[in-house]
Amino acid sequence: MDLTFTPEEEGFRREVVAFLRDKLPARLSRKVKSGLRLTREDMTEWHAILNERGWLANHWPQEHGGPGWGAVQKFIFENECALAGAPRIVPFGVNMLGPVLIKYGNEAQKQYWLPRILDGSDWWCQGYSEPGAGSDLAAVKTTAVRDGDHYVVNGQKTWTTLGHHANMIFCLVRTDKDARKQSGISFLLVDMNTPGVEVRPIITLDGEHEVNEVFFTDVRVPVQNLVGEENKGWTYAKYLLTYERTNIAGVGFSVAGFERLKRIARSVKRNGKPLIEDPLFAARMARVAIDLENMKTTNLRVIAAVAGGGVPGAESSMLKIRGTEIRQEIFSLTRRAMGPYAQPYVEEALSQEDYAGEPVGPAEAASAASAYFNNRKLSIFGGSNEIQKNIIAKMILGL
């Protein structure tokens, strides 16, 4: 990225680049850059490499295993990782549950769960949404009823990303049916191997299995798995969402995606000329380039505002909207650049390990369509973009 950093920041950036050059397996970065499917093993392999360097939980305080970075260092790290084609850090344990446990968990929970997030003993997933409780998240109906030293959980979660890989799920559950709806919710950690938990796949528009439904029938959960106080879960849930939204903006992913688009548009021909010289296509690319530059600056402005610590508040909604719009436009243009070669779904192509990385090969064509369809999700999850606009209207504009 052509941003100006202080000499210390530039030194840090070089350290990150050197680490990625030495430690990021070429096999993994090739898969990421070509949009191929990553297996559970691919994702855990990258986590282990980062953990060994002490850079996995880069939002955590040092006393719990974080590297003690400031906001600019996190920004540099995320951007360089995206540019190098590093797999994304699976966010549920490290970026979502970790900060909640650090802030609201008791000592025993921190001692037990945090090291297990770092060393990969547990794969977490997020049990927030339910049929009828998405944007209106406080409408969750899954119940947890106290029975001695257990809660008995009944209900259903949905859209549970990578839940089929997970052994643990953090859930919002209703513990008081009579209270105002935000007041009767608790935050519970559930072992997915407990009898009564059932995971069913949802196959999405791109033909892939990424999300699931999770059903709970008389699932017994020890009371020590309650985080914080009973019926105070809404506070913890909102705290977690701020972390989730800031991560979704993904400026680094847009920069990397735009580089890939330029490479493809230079090699694909339209009317005998490289597509990048087509005036209409070039105009759409220029629009993205301008929006991306603005986004980088806005991102840094928000980072500067929280440089003393903490996470952005309602500004994270702004980043989420613009960041996801830009990413979706890049996916759309990449698919268009492939024209008829962008195939709706080619199962084999997405797992082609030996793909040599030609500028426009069959895997790249298949993944262009798959990525376009898959990433319609960006403007929906983490709170839809319409909901983010409501938050901005209320919290920033005071309407």
Ligand X SMILES: Cc1cc2nc3c(=O)[nH]c(=O)nc-3n(C[C@H](O)[C@H](O)[C@H](O)COP(=O)(O)OP(=O)(O)OC[C@H]3O[C@@H](n4cnc5c(N)ncnc54)[C@H](O)[C@@H]3O)c2cc1C
Instruction: Report the interface residues with ligand X, using CB under 6 A.
Output: 126-129, 134-135, 159-161, 211, 377, 380-381, 383-384, 386-387, 390
Q: To 10 degrees, what angle do helices 251-267 and 279-305 make?
A: 160
CB atoms within 10 A of CB 41: 8
Instruction: Give the shortest CB-281-to-ligand X separation in angstroms.
Output: 29
Query: Do 231 and 88 meet the contact criterion of CB atoms below 8 Å apart?
Result: no
Residues 6+ apart with CB under 8 A from 301: none
C-beta of 3 vs 380, nearer to ligand X: 380
Distance between CA 373 and CA 394 in Å, rounded?
Answer: 31
Q: Taking the complex as a whole, how short is the minimal distance between the CB of residue 125 and ligand X, in angstroms?
A: 6
Residue among 4, 93, 30 nearest 352 (CA): 30
* Residue 159 or 258 with smaller CB distance to ligand X: 159
The catalytic position among 210, 244, 315, 329 is: 244
Tell the smallest beta-carbon distance from residue 384 to ligand X (Å): 3
In the structure encoding, which two tokens stand for residue 132, read together?
A: 């009828």
Rounded to whole angstroms, the Cα distance separating 202 from 208 reads 9
Could you tell me the smallest distance in angstroms from the CB atom of residue 218 to ligand X?
A: 22
78 is catalytic: no
Nearer to ligand X, 73 or 379 (CB): 379
CA 391 vs. chain centroid, Å, equals 20
Min dist CB 211 to ligand X, Å, is 5
| Minimum CB distance to ligand X smaller for 126 or for 242 | 126
Q: Closer to ligand X at the Cβ: 343 or 384?
A: 384
Nearer to ligand X, 160 or 332 (CB): 160
Residue (194 or 384) nearer to ligand X, CB: 384
- When computed from its CA atoms, the radius of gyration of the chain, rounded to whole angstroms, is 22
Whole-number minimum distance, CB 135 to ligand X, in Å? 3
Largest CA distance in the chain: 75
Q: Judged by CB, which is closer to ligand X: 109, or 160?
A: 160
**Min separation Cβ 134 and ligand X, Å:** 2
In the complex, what is the shortest distance from the CB of residue 387 to ligand X, in angstroms, rounded to a whole number? 6
Residues belonging to the active site: 244
